[in-house]
Amino acid sequence: MRMLLIANWKMHYGPIKAGGWIRAFRRERLPKNIDIAVAVPHVSLAAARASLGRASIPALAAQDVFWGEDGPYTGEISASMLDEFGVQYCLVGHSERRSVMGETDDMVAKKAAALQKAGIVPVICVGETSAQYKKGETNKIIRQQTTAAIAKLDVDSKTPFVFAYEPVWSIGSGKACPAQKAKEVHDVIRGVIQKKMNENIAEKVLILYGGSIDVNNIAEYLTTTGINGALVGGASLDPRVFGLLCRTAMPS
């Protein structure tokens, strides 16, 4: 199974800086045995694509999508619009969208299904809050979010989906969830997929870890069985740091 590393810029870098990041990152020596993607703000997709040209490394990812097709949805962006930029992955249900924009499990499920239909790999983010973690509710919350998110996916689709386990308390906090603990949660996600979909999909699904990943801890996660890559926020903002992180993750 090839590992996947996704840079998540969040709300950083408009078109001018996005092009510069891509060009600088392309100058980095990158491992060939790993997949790398960069999730950029919608307004920067065109600049990122222009800087990439026909190059496919890093793959282009979006940070959000709306589930409808063309129509009266002012301000929204459809999966087929993302497809026009050659977007291969799109995050859905990031905790910042769930908590700041009020995104519900049902909305996440609709977004994931719309992406899959358009041939774009949804990267479904799940994770418990600090309060839920302290109450020992992690597995319950993860089971709920995972069950809801896959409810509208097509088991026969050729487009796979990816999960990212991101404990809310570890995002941007410098407190990464210990790799063994993350692995246990990954097993919960895989278990739900096996039960609600099938064994084959559960075996193949990539489950990433996200939350305070940096150059110093990445290797520990990627050498833990059941963790298939990482979603990286802060440590992806500098293209040289993210390049180093990719090399550290998977020396070629």
| Contact window for ligand PGA (CB under 6 A) among 17-25, 112-120, 143-151, 230-238 | 230-238
Q: Does 166 bind ligand PGA (CB under 6 A)?
A: yes
Nearest distance from residue 221's CB to ligand PGA, in Å?
A: 12
Residue 166 annotated among the catalytic residues of the structure: yes
Residue 186 annotated among the catalytic residues of the structure: no
Q: Which is nearer to ligand PGA, 9 or 201 (CB)?
A: 9
Q: Does 88 bind ligand PGA (CB under 6 A)?
A: no
The region that residue 159 occupies, defined by phi over 0 for left and psi between -120 and 50 for alpha, beta otherwise, is beta
Own/partner long-range contacts of 143-149 (Cβ < 8 Å, ≥24 apart): 143/188, 143/192, 144/105, 145/93, 145/105, 145/108, 146/188, 146/189, 146/192, 146/193, 147/192, 147/196, 148/105, 148/106, 148/108, 148/109, 149/92, 149/93, 149/105, 149/108, 149/109, 149/112, 149/124
Per-residue binding letters, 173-212, with ligand PGA (x by CB under 6 A): -------------------------------------xxx
> How many CB atoms are located within 10 Å of the residue 116 CB?
20
Q: Which is nearer to ligand PGA, 125 or 192 (CB)?
A: 125
- Residues forming contacts to ligand PGA in the complex (CB under 6 A) are 8, 166, 171-172, 210-213, 231-235
- The residues carrying an active-site annotation are 94, 166
